[in-house]
Amino acid sequence: MIDYQIAIPSYKRPTRLITETLTTLKRTNADFSRVTIFVADSNEKHLYDTALQAIGLGVKVVISQPGLINSRIWYNLHYYKPAHASSTWMTTLLGCTSKTAMPCRRTPRP
């Protein structure tokens, strides 16, 4: 079996995510233990956790970074765990001090 994860970045759309994205995944018999929703901050996490609990769906909701580009970089690091991925490597890539205690740059590097 192929090892995979489904990463869904989302911002201010918990209802649409449930009615469209998660409904589509359910129709395809997706394994929801492999689904993670990435949100921008703790307020968003609370909104999504509440909406998911209301329908009884246990999908992981993880706080990543604000902004689609920062979020994509962050969730790739969330899944990618090479032996050489050190805090120095992440600092160079994102300007972050660690995976859990960012902040990352909010603007692209020159």
Q: What's the mean pLDDT when you consider all of the chain?
A: 78
If one compares 8 and 78, the residue with the highest pLDDT of the two is 8
Query: What proportion of the chain, given as a percentage, has pLDDT over 70?
Result: 72
Residues 47-73: tens digit of each pLDDT? 999 999 999 998 999 998 888 888 888
* Tens digits of residue pLDDT in 30-45: 999 999 999 999 999 9
Angle CA(62)–CA(47)–CA(39) in degrees, nearest 5? Answer: 30
Contacts of residue 106, defined as CB under 8 A and 6 or more positions apart, other chains included, come to 66, 67, 70
In contact, 92 and 73? CB cutoff 8 Å: no
pLDDT score of 39: 92
Least confident of 6-10, 11-15, 81-85, 87-91: 87-91
Reference 68, options 94, 37, 39, 41; nearest CA is 39
